[in-house]
């Protein structure tokens, strides 16, 4: 498995075979259909959750990276020491990372049985505890008590329209994940009504959530927190380098943030060179050289800001990009970019106001 972080949105923790091929499998597919990157452990015999500090298991890494952990409590959940250890890891991560959410789903079990480890859950706990130390059993019981007090969903066996129940969970996940699939950085005067406008529509038609800022501010106006947040929460940034991109302090500020996220968050960056040469961008020659000279005159040759802009432009050197000139069909390049997005998404396998308190039973529909 690659060491590259996957930056999952959702981690699905589930018990035995009673829900793997039915409810949880359907929930996994529904989340993926909304382009929510979800980790779903396919086999109970997967590597141990805890290995060592330098070689942690894929499941533990996914828990640490996910924004939401959905714990599906079914009849068999407490029979698995693996699931109980996952629950410990999930709660530990949620304590360390205040923005990580934990959503319990009670599928055919009563929330009170999870909290108190009685009934079906009590019998399962008694069976699994026979093989483990007192300290480990104590941690499991404390974790079940803690998660049993969180808001979640309750599904009663025999209720109608399970797909509607799943749809509610997926809708809540969509609402609770403040992120974009794509951030589009461009110089409006060059490409707003041509390449970038068409690219934006093509990406959006395929169901991707894309951020395209249509208000460029210059002068003393700083890049907004909203824009910074959109860059940080995006999976991929597409940067359209055009003739006047380098003259825009707004675009350059975006680029600095994008390259920072590329380094610190492993964010993917795709450059598109529109009627400009890649080397002119990276080496700051021709229009990009003129732009940087103008910035140095305005802000000072030794300006830290200008140096950051130059460094960000230079970092594009090692990235693969799309090249488009005036005598090429734009739609062909747009199709290639969209196809690349689709291939990446298809190759990879939330306290919330949308949750129903566990003291109330999910209404049957």
Domain assignment present for residue 125? The answer is yes
- Same-domain pairing of 287 and 204: yes
What CATH number does the domain containing 270 carry?
3.40.50.10140
Same domain, 166 and 254: no
The pLDDT of residue 158 is 73
Within 8 A by CB and 6+ apart from 213, the residues are 184, 227, 230
Query: In 3-state terms, what secondary structure has residue 270?
Result: strand
pLDDT in tens, the chain (365 residues): 333 445 788 999 886 666 777 888 899 999 988 878 899 876 555 555 654 454 567 888 889 888 899 999 988 888 888 889 999 999 999 988 777 899 999 998 889 999 999 988 888 888 877 888 888 889 999 999 999 889 899 998 777 788 899 999 999 998 888 678 899 999 999 999 889 999 999 998 888 889 998 654 444 445 678 788 889 889 899 999 999 999 999 999 999 999 999 998 888 999 999 999 999 999 999 999 999 999 999 999 899 999 999 999 999 988 988 998 777 788 888 999 999 988 876 654 333 333 444 433 343 33
Residues 253 and 132 in one domain: no
Shared-domain flag, residues 339 and 192 = yes
Say if residue 16 is in the same domain as residue 158.
yes
- φ/ψ of 225, rounded to 5, equals -65, -35
Same domain, 24 and 153: yes
Same domain, 154 and 87: yes
Provide the pLDDT for residue 354: 37
| 192 and 70 in a common domain | no
Pair (192, 310) in one structural domain: yes
Domain tally, the chain? 2
Q: Of the residues 149, 176, 203, which one is the last residue of a structural domain?
A: 176
Asked whether residue 261 is domain-assigned, the answer is yes
Domain boundary among 132, 152, 176: 176
Q: Which domain holds residue 151?
A: 10-176
Taking the C-alpha atoms of residue 108 and residue 154, their distance in angstroms, rounded to an integer, is 8
Residues 6+ apart with CB under 8 A from 246: 252, 281, 284, 287, 288, 290, 291, 292, 313
pLDDT at 328: 79
115, burial (CB in 10 Å: exposed 0-12, middle 13-18, buried 19+): middle
Same domain, 138 and 246: no
Whether residue 153 is found in the same domain as residue 268: no
Does 151 share its domain with 185?
no
Q: Which helix (H) or strand (E) holds 154?
A: strand 153-155
């Amino acid at each position: 498995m690659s060491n590259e972080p996957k930056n999952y949105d959702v981690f699905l923790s589930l018990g035995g075979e009673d829900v793997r091929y039915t409810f949880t499998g359907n929930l996994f597919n529904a989340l993926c259909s909304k382009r929510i990157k979800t980790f779903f452990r396919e086999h109970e015999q997967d590597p141990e959750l805890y290995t060592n500090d330098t070689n942690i298991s894929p499941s533990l890494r996914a828990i640490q990276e996910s924004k939401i952990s959905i714990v599906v409590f079914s009849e068999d959940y407490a029979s698995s020491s693996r699931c109980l250890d996952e629950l410990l890891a999930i709660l530990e991560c949620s304590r360390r990372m205040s923005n990580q959410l934990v959503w319990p789903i009670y599928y055919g079990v009563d929330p009170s049985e999870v909290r108190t480890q009685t009934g079906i859950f009590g019998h399962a706990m008694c069976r699994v505890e026979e093989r483990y130390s007192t300290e480990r059993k104590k941690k499991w019981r404390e974790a079940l008590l803690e998660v049993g007090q969180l808001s979640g969903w309750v599904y009663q066996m025999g209720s109608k329209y399970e797909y509607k129940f799943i749809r509610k969970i997926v809708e809540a996940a969509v609402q609770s994940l403040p992120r974009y699939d794509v951030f589009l950085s461009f110089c409006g005067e060059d490409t707003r009504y041509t390449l970038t406008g068409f690219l934006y529509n093509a990406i959006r038609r395929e169901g991707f959530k894309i951020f395209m800022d249509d208000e460029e501010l210059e002068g003393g106006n700083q890049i907004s927190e909203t824009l910074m947040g959109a860059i940080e929460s995006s999976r991929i940034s597409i940067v359209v380098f055009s003739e006047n991109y380098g003259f825009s302090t707004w675009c350059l500020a975006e680029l600095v943030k994008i390259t920072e996220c590329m380094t610190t968050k492993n964010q993917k960056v795709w450059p598109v060179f529109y009627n400009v040469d890649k080397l002119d961008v990276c080496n700051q020659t021709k229009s990009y050289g003129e732009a940087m000279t103008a910035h140095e005159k305005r802000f000072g040759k030794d300006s830290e800001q200008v140096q950051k802009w130059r460094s960000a432009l230079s970092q594009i050197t090692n990235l693969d990009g799309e090249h488009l000139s005036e005598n090429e069909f734009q739609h062909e390049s747009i199709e290639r970019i969209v196809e690349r997005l689709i291939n990446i998404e298809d190759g990879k396998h939330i306290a919330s106001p949308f949750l129903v308190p566990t003291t109330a039973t999910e209404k049957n529909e």
